[in-house]
Chain A
Amino acid sequence: MYAQLVKSEGSKSREDMTPEEIAFQDRIDRNEKIEPKEWMPEGYRKTLIRQIGQHAHSEIVGQLPEGNWITRAPTLERKAILLAKVQDEAGHGLYLYCAAETLGVSRDELLEKLHSGNMKYSSIFNYPTLTWADMGAVGWLVDGAAIMNQVPLQRTSYGPYSRAMIRICKEESFHQRQGYDIMMKMCAGTPEQKAMAQDALNRFWYPALMMFGPSDKDSVHSAQSMAWKIKMNTNDELRQKFVDQTVPQAEYLGLTIPDPDLKWNEEKGGYDFSEPDWTEFFAVIAGNGPCNAERLGARVKAWEDGAWFRDGLMAHAAKADERARAARHAAE
């Protein structure tokens, strides 16, 4: 998922809630949407800012690993498709930043927190994209995992977040399909091409499983977020669903999931599979993944290099305003 390890605030039992908090929880239990200016507990507001912010940052930083291949796409059509996909990610980031801003945080504050490392983005984007097959694996697995999480979030309790998710989900399935389409092409190609596809799956499988966040037994923030309906399913539920959906897709491609212990479990009606290496996950989240410095560096550079341009446009707008006012004044 694009928001992992979101720290949730104040888990309270009903007896400890104020009348306002009880009324608020009742609204959520009735599936009413909470809208921007309405009363909400401070913890709800803060948790949502963290979660939506982290989600937005992930969309924006998520452009970088794929942007890497725009100039190297194998055909003009693939290039146009990848460009459209990466542009969508930018759009998704913008929808989500706007949703976060309705909670009283400014865009610049959010960006400052990303750039200073105080807010996170998904661990998945700290892995390198080494070959064209990685574009296939990213679309298929990374966007696939994101969809798994985003579809239920369309029913989240906060109106602007829910509306952003509805829009994003509508656009997202193109992303997964374009990835799978690349994988199909590679797997139907030469043995070398198929080997590239297998290698991409090998490298992205466990990082994709990590996207859902730590195992439920170690996920301390889930209960309150689920009561507030800003988290709809547990990490393990979604991970299981993702594995069950993805294994047959890999089989169709003739690729092998890099997990010797992967096995269908008739009793639970799902696959048993190996957990990712959680030590690696926490290291990547803490900033020590293969590409953390490069990704954040690229974001900060883009922001700083663009400052003169943003300021220039503002100065131009202010002058144009001034001229228009003077013209109106002269006409009166």
Chain B
Amino acid sequence: MSSEWPLWEIFIRGQHGLNHRHVGSLHAPDAEMAIRNARDVYTRRNEGVSIWVVKANDITASSPSEKGPLFDPSNSKVYRHPTFFDIPDEVGHM
């Protein structure tokens, strides 16, 4: 039985200067082939101008069970949003 090609996660940067964004994954024997395959699988319609490939095994992800401890603390810090502060109309745009 042959060994399966490793899984790569694919990130593409679109035309408009945005960050690379995760678009999916694919199997490839090495990084170079992963980029070539990603070109065919994920950019058939001009979706990107740059590709990153990362071996799926090399990604460390936060675990779903940590969701509360990780993200809940920011819920109570509404003052981090500009709308928290009332600025009088006379002050003008700020």
A98 touching B24, Cβ below 8 Å: yes
How many A residues are at the interface, by size bracket? 20 to 34
Contacts of A310 in B (CB 8 A): 2, 5, 29
B46-90: which have CB < 8 Å to A?
Answer: 61, 63-64
A314 touching B24, Cβ below 8 Å: no
User: Whole-angstrom distance between the alpha carbons of A314 and B27 in the complex?
Assistant: 11
- How many Å from the CB of A105 to the closest CB on chain B? 12
Say yes or no for A91: interface residue by CB 8 A criterion: yes
User: Whole-angstrom distance between the alpha carbons of A317 and B6 in the complex?
Assistant: 11
The 5 closest A-B pairs by CB, nearest first: A317-B30, A313-B29, A317-B29, A38-B64, A98-B25
A316 touching B26, Cβ below 8 Å: no
Residue with the greatest number of chain B CB neighbours at <10 A, chosen from A91, A98, A108: A98
When C-beta atoms are compared, the residue in chain A nearest to B7 turns out to be A101
A304-323: which have CB < 8 Å to B?
Answer: 307, 310-311, 313-314, 316-317, 320-321
Contacts of A37 in B (CB 8 A): 61, 63-64
Contacts of B40 in A (CB 8 A): 87, 91
How many B residues are at the interface, by size bracket? 20 to 34
B44 touching A314, Cβ below 8 Å: no
Whether A320 contacts B30 in the complex (CB less than 8 A), given A98-B24, A101-B7, A310-B2, comes out as yes
Contacts of B26 in A (CB 8 A): 94, 98
Say yes or no for A29: interface residue by CB 8 A criterion: no
Say yes or no for B3: interface residue by CB 8 A criterion: yes
A94 touching B41, Cβ below 8 Å: yes
**Residues of A that sit less than 8 Å from B by CB:** 35, 37-39, 84, 87-88, 91, 94-95, 98, 101, 106-108, 163-164, 167, 171, 307, 310-311, 313-314, 316-317, 320-321
A171 touching B45, Cβ below 8 Å: yes
Contacts of A35 in B (CB 8 A): 64
When C-beta atoms are compared, the residue in chain A nearest to B9 turns out to be A98
B7 touching A314, Cβ below 8 Å: no
B44 touching A311, Cβ below 8 Å: no
Contacts of B45 in A (CB 8 A): 171
A-B contact pairs, 18 of them (CB 8 A): A37-B61, A37-B63, A87-B40, A87-B44, A91-B41, A91-B44, A95-B24, A98-B24, A101-B25, A107-B27, A167-B24, A310-B5, A311-B2, A313-B5, A313-B29, A314-B29, A316-B29, A316-B30
- How many Å from the CB of A188 to the closest CB on chain B? 29
- How many Å from the CB of A133 to the closest CB on chain B? 27
B64 touching A314, Cβ below 8 Å: no
